[in-house]
C-alpha cells in the first residue's frame, strides 16, 4: 500500500506502510537499475512506529517518461529537496550499491540544511574515494549485461528475457553513467551522522578495506557488519539485516 506525501515528495518517494505518528522515517535508496519496490517487503520487518519510504528515481515505473539525471549530483539535489518537507520527524537513510553513494550525497545536502540524519546505512558499495573510474556505461550492451549478471546472483534470470532486457538496459546504462563518472571532492566531506556499512562476504564489487573505508566519511561513529552472500546479500539476509538495522533506530 502507498499513500500520498506532501508536495514534490510524492514524485520522489513511495510510502508502503503509512504510520500516523511515526517516530522516525527510514528512507531507502535503490541500486542501479532498481526501483522503490526493491524495499517493499521491508515494511513488515520494521518497528510499528518506523515509516518506510523508498525512492523512485526518474526513468522507471510511473516516472518512466522522465529523463534520468546525467550526474549523481543531479539526482541527489532534488532527492534532498524532496526530503525537506518530511523532516518533521527524524530521518535515517539506507542505500544499497549505487544507492549507498546516493545516500551519502543526500545526507551531505541535508546536513547543509541543518538536518543531521539519525544514521546513514550504506550497503554493498565501496566508500566513494575507493571506487575507481568505470567505462561499462560506454560499452556494448552485452558487456554491461554480463557484468551485472556476474554481480547479481539474485536477479540474474531477469536478463534471460530479451524483451525485459531491452526495457531495463537504458535505465541501467544511465545509472551506470551516473555512478561510474561520480567523483568525490579531493578532501572527502565528512558527515556528522553516524555511518553503518553492510557488505556481503562474497561481494566481488569491493574488498573488505573498501567497505571499511566508509569510516572516513563520518565524524559521528562507524560500524561495519559483513553478512553471508554476494552483492545482493540483503535479499536472503533480509530478516537478519532488518533486525540489526532496527537496533540503530532506537
Catalytic residue among 97, 123, 157, 215: 97
Residue 72 · residue 179 · CB < 8 Å? yes
Query: For residue 77, what are the contacts with CB-CB under 8 A and spacing of at least 6?
Result: 109
Helix, strand or coil, per DSSP, at residue 20: coil
Q: How far apart are CA 196 and CA 169, in angstroms?
A: 31
Alpha-carbon Rg for the chain in angstroms: 17
Helix or strand holding residue 76 (H, E): helix 72-83
Count other Cβ atoms within 10 Å, centred on residue 32. Answer: 23
Contact residues for 44 (Cβ-Cβ < 8 A; gap 6+): 17
Say whether 97 is catalytic: yes
**209 is written with which cell numbers?**
578495506
Give the whole-angstrom CA distance, residue 36 versus residue 187: 32
Residues acting as catalytic residues: 97
Amino acid at each position: 500500500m502507498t499513500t500520498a506525501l506532501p508536495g514534490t515528495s510524492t514524485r520522489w518517494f513511495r510510502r508502503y506502510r503509512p504510520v500516523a505518528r511515526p517516530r522516525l522515517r527510514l528512507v531507502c535508496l535503490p541500486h542501479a537499475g532498481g526501483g522503490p519496490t526493491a524495499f517493499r517487503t521491508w515494511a513488515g520487518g520494521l518497528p510499528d512506529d518506523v515509516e518506510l519510504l523508498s525512492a523512485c528515481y526518474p526513468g522507471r515505473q510511473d516516472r518512466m517518461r522522465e529523463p534520468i539525471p546525467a550526474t549523481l549530483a543531479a539526482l541527489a539535489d532534488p532527492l534532498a529537496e524532496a526530503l525537506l518537507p518530511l523532516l518533521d520527524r527524524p530521518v535515517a537513510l539506507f542505500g544499497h550499491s549505487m544507492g549507498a553513494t546516493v545516500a551519502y550525497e543526500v545526507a551531505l545536502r541535508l546536513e547543509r540544511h541543518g538536518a543531521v540524519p539519525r544514521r546513514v546505512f550504506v550497503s554493498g558499495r565501496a566508500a566513494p574515494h575507493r571506487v575507481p573510474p568505470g567505462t561499462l556505461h560506454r560499452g556494448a550492451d552485452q558487456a554491461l549485461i554480463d557484468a551485472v549478471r556476474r554481480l547479481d546472483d539474485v536477479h540474474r534470470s531477469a536478463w534471460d528475457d530479451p524483451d525485459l532486457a531491452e526495457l531495463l538496459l537504458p535505465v541501467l546504462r544511465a545509472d551506470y553513467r551516473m555512478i561510474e563518472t561520480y567523483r568525490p571532492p579531493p578532501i572527502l566531506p565528512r558527515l556528522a551522522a553516524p555511518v553503518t556499512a553492510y557488505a556481503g562476504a562474497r561481494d566481488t564489487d569491493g574488498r573488505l578495506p573498501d567497505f571499511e573505508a566508509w569510516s572516513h566519511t563520518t565524524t559521528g561513529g562507524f560500524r561495519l557488519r559483513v553478512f553471508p552472500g554476494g552483492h545482493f546479500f540483503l535479499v536472503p539476509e533480509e530478516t537478519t539485516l532488518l533486525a540489526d538495522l532496527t537496533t540503530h533506530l532506537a
